[in-house]
């Protein structure tokens, strides 16, 4: 048995078995039954070390986050997650229990929290640590929430604080750089990063996404910055928006920053994994009565294309760049 066949045994029993799974890890493919009257919803996201997470990220957080970002995509469609497939390209220096155990634990913890089963994967060696997760979920036929359905007059909402992860990332990259330059920095400094859990351990809005079926006209998860991701809804729906920056939920640590820094994190920083969605004013009132801690109105859908920003109702110019992949 190869070293890598041994590695996948770390994952063989780390998640609870779902009754839909007929054959899980151990054969050439997994076999799953489909629930009746449902559509399959699937996505894949790849995380490359040093590009999608800082090199100092813990093995646990890398495992956790590689699943979380995919469950966030399923949440953004209103889907119920079912299973994941996990592809690992691993540098030889990490192919030992001290790294693999916490990595597998991060995967197991988030999967078990959201009742997701690991049904298969692939393991190879590579110089750069790269984790690719495919997530599968189900949605009652015809009820998925896409980016395409925003209507003029809709209220634009987000599910929680925006910009915290980007703020944490900025501090971590700064700390990593200082360490490389050997500027006096204690080893514990990386653990003292404000809002680091928002970056390392984002909570995918899985329950909320499903509750929004029948309420929201359009939805996206915020991975590349609110400005760019809301822009995707506007383009797909062929509408425009007015967003008031003062109404975006903001952590007190971020709130203390100068406005332009704060807006940079919120509009152009990535990795929030909150949901952004639109719904009629009537539905907003209804939904807000039940789930007021998960729905924050930040603006309105309008006819005129593009995104217009205001701050306490005064027009603001701010350049939307978003996370640049290339």
Q: Decide which of ligand ADP, Mg ion, none touches 86; Cβ closer than 5 to 8 Å per partner kind.
A: ligand ADP
Decide whether 8 or 284 has the Cβ nearer to ligand ADP: 8
121 binds ligand ADP per the rule CB under 6 A: yes
Q: Which of 78, 120, 160, 269 binds ligand ADP (CB under 6 A)?
A: 120
- Tell me 88's DSSP state: E
| 3-state SS, residue 135 | strand
Binding residues for ligand ADP restricted to 77-96, rule: CB under 6 A? 86, 88
Q: Given the DSSP bridges, would you call strands 296-302 and 155-158 parallel, antiparallel or unpaired?
A: antiparallel
Contact (Cβ atoms closer than 8 angstroms) between residue 26 and residue 33: no
Distance CA 269, CA 201 (A): 16
122 assigned binding-site residue:
yes
Q: Which helix (H) or strand (E) holds 259?
A: helix 259-263
Which residue's Cβ lies closest to Mg ion? 28
Inter-residue contact 163 to 250 (CB < 8 Å): yes
Q: Is 261 annotated as ligand-binding?
A: no
Per-position x/- string for 2-31, each x denoting binding to Mg ion as judged by CB under 5 A, each - no binding: --------------------------x---
Q: Work out how close the CB of 60 gets to ligand ADP at its nearest, in angstroms, rounded to a whole number.
A: 16
Among 61, 83, 110, 118, binds ligand ADP (CB under 6 A): 118
How far is 317 from 282, CA to CA, in rounded Å? 31
SS3 248: coil
- Residue 64 in the binding site for ligand ADP (CB under 6 A): no
Tell me how far apart the alpha carbons of residues 293 and 260 are, in angstroms, rounded to a whole number: 26
Contact 275, 176 (CB under 8 A): no
Give the integer Cα–Cα distance in Å for 228 and 234.
10
Contact 250, 161 (CB under 8 A): yes
Considering only the stretches 70-78, 118-126, 254-262, 264-272, report the one whose residues sit in contact with ligand ADP under the rule CB under 6 A. 118-126
8-37 residues in contact with ligand ADP (CB under 6 A) are: 8, 11, 25-28
Residues contributing to the annotated binding site for substrate: 52, 271, 323
Q: Which residues bind ligand ADP (CB under 6 A)?
A: 5, 8, 11, 25-28, 86, 88, 118, 120-123
Residues contributing to the annotated binding site: 28, 45, 52, 73, 121-122, 147, 221, 223-224, 271, 323
């Amino acid at each position: 048995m190869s070293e890598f066949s041994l590695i996948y045994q770390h994952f063989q029993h780390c998640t609870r078995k779902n009754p839909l799974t007929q054959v899980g890890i151990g054969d050439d493919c997994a076999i799953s039954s489909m629930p009746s009257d449902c559509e399959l919803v699937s996505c894949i996201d790849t995380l490359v070390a040093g590009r999608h997470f800082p090199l100092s990220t813990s093995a646990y957080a890398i495992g956790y986050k590689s699943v979380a970002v995919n469950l966030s995509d399923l949440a953004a469609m209103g889907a119920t997650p079912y299973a994941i497939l996990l592809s690992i390209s691993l540098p030889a220096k990490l192919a030992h229990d001290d790294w693999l155990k916490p990595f597998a634990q991060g995967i197991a913890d988030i999967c078990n929290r959201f009742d997701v089963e690991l049904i298969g994967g692939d393991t190879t060696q590579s110089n750069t640590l790269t984790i690719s997760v495919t997530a599968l979920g189900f949605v009652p036929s015809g009820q998925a929430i896409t980016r395409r359905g925003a209507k003029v007059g809709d209220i634009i909402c987000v599910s929680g604080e925006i910009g915290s992860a980007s703020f944490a990332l900025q501090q971590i990259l700064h700390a990593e750089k200082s360490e490389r330059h050997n500027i006096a920095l204690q080893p514990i400094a990386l653990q003292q990063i404000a809002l680091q859990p928002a970056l390392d351990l984002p909570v995918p809005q899985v329950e909320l996404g499903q509750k929004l079926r029948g309420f929201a006209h359009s939805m996206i998860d915020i991975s590349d910055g609110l400005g760019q991701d809301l822009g995707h809804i506007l383009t797909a729906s062929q509408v425009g928006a007015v967003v008031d920056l003062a109404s975006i939920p903001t952590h007190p640590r971020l709130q203390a920053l100068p406005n332009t820094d704060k807006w940079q994190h919120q509009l152009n920083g990535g990795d929030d994994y909150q949901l952004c969605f639109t719904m009629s004013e009537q539905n907003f009132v209804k939904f807000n009565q039940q789930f007021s801690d998960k729905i924050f109105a930040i603006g309105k859908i309008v006819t005129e294309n593009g995104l217009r920003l205001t701050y306490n109702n005064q027009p603001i110019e701010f350049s939307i760049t978003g996370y640049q992949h290339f």
